[in-house]
Amino acid sequence: MNGLLPIVDLSAPDVAAAVDRACREQGFFYVVGHGVDPGLQHRLETTARSFFARSDEVKSSIAMSKGGRAWRGWFPVGGELTSGVPDRKEGIYFGAERAVDDARPLHGPNLFPDEELRDVVLAWLDAMTALGHRLASAMGIDAAIVRDPTILFRIFHYPPGPDADDGWGVGEHTDYGLLTILLQDATAGLQVRGPDGWIDAPPIDGSFVCNIGDMLERITGGAYRSTPHRVRNASDVGRLSFPFFFDPSWDAVVPVPEGSFGSVERWDGTDVLSWEGTYGEYLVGKVSKVFPELAGDALGGG
């Protein structure tokens, strides 16, 4: 254990039981023994730092306003909202590389400033997708639900926090889908709301932090709970994070099992067990609140 968060070794023989225990107790856990190339991780972090060191004028060459329905590209500090409050971070949105004529919202080609970032991001998407399938299998998730998973990837840069600032880069929230697989740099900042209050989830070398999303709470009937978390960066250095979202297929209708544990009062007052529709519809409804100024054109008003 690190603090109160379990560490799950994917190379261990009892991985399914370890994942189940971690999901029931905390909803957040570290993953080691995953086999992801550390050299690829180093390339990703180095390339990301190089991108964020550029001027906003240069970064805006791949601004999200140019991504259309694919919902891809860069946004500046304060450009993304969490629960209606601007985040103190900038970032780039990526997803599975699709054809430009893919009519689904959040699907299509990525925006890249250069071939170096393109190569490393596409390689990272492949590695994380494979890891997502491994974790989904360990959890016993029906393969049909993730046959064509919705893949979203973000690179976030949290600038240094000024002394007078409260340091919150992202306020309390839960993730929307099944699993989030997070790579952190060496700067701490992630906090998780556990049964006994907020706890830190500092980076551990060679690990990823995984957490449960709303759809995994739904698919388990509330046996697993989508865990609120937040990010604080009051340090005098910038922080990078690399969340990868492994979610149900776009058209999947995520079932609620009979004999579910039922809903509990959530931080945002919503009930993920009673919601009806496809995962794509759920996701569009959520992300349209993140960048409301882009929602009308990119998501058809969703």
At 103 the pLDDT is 84
- Mean pLDDT within 270-282: 88
**DSSP bridge partners of 149:** 249
Q: Report pTM.
A: 0.91
How far, rounded to the nearest angstrom, does the alpha carbon of residue 122 sit from its chain's CA centroid? 16
Return the closest-CA partner of residue 286 out of 77, 83, 108. Answer: 83
296 three-state secondary structure:
helix
Return the closest-CA partner of residue 37 out of 183, 156, 136, 137. Answer: 183
At 302 the pLDDT is 37
**DSSP bridge partners of 198:** 193
pLDDT, mean over the chain: 87
Q: Say which residue the tokens 């009062």 belong to.
A: 265
Give CATH for domain 7-297. Answer: 2.60.120.330
Is residue 189 a contact partner of residue 239, using CB atoms and an 8 Å limit? yes
**DSSP bridge partners of 241:** 156, 184
Cα R_g (the chain), whole angstroms: 18
pLDDT band at 234 (very low <50, low <70, confident <90, very high): low
Distance, in Å, from the CA atom of 67 to the CA atom of 166, rounded to the nearest integer, reads 32
Show the tokens assigned to 35.
């086999």
Distance, in Å, from the CA atom of 291 to the CA atom of 287, rounded to the nearest integer, reads 7
> Exposed, middle or buried: residue 91 (CB in 10 Å: 0-12, 13-18, 19+)?
buried
Q: Is residue 284 pLDDT above 60, yes or no?
A: yes
The percentage of the chain sitting over the pLDDT mark of 90, rounded to a whole number, equals 57
